[in-house]
Amino acid sequence: MWGDMGSYGWGWGGMMGFGLISMVLFWVLIILGIVILVKWIASGSSGSQPPVKTALDILKERYARGEIGKQEFEEKKRDLSG
Give residue-wise pLDDT tens across range 23-82.
999 999 999 999 999 998 887 765 556 778 899 999 999 999 999 999 999 999 999 887
Please tell me the predicted confidence (pLDDT) of residue 21. 87
* Domain edges within the chain: 14-49, 50-82
First CA to last CA distance, the chain: 93
Radius of gyration of the chain from its Cα atoms, rounded to whole angstroms = 32
- Residue 5 corresponds to which amino acid? M
Please tell me the predicted confidence (pLDDT) of residue 52. 84
Contact 62/75 with Cβ under 8 angstroms? no
Please tell me the predicted confidence (pLDDT) of residue 15. 62
pTM above 0.95, yes or no: no
Give the tens place of pLDDT for each residue, 19-37: 888 899 999 999 999 999 9
Distance CA 66, CA 72 (A): 11
For helices 55-65 and 70-81, what crossing angle results, to 10°?
180
Give the tens place of pLDDT for each residue, 1-19: 455 555 555 555 556 667 8
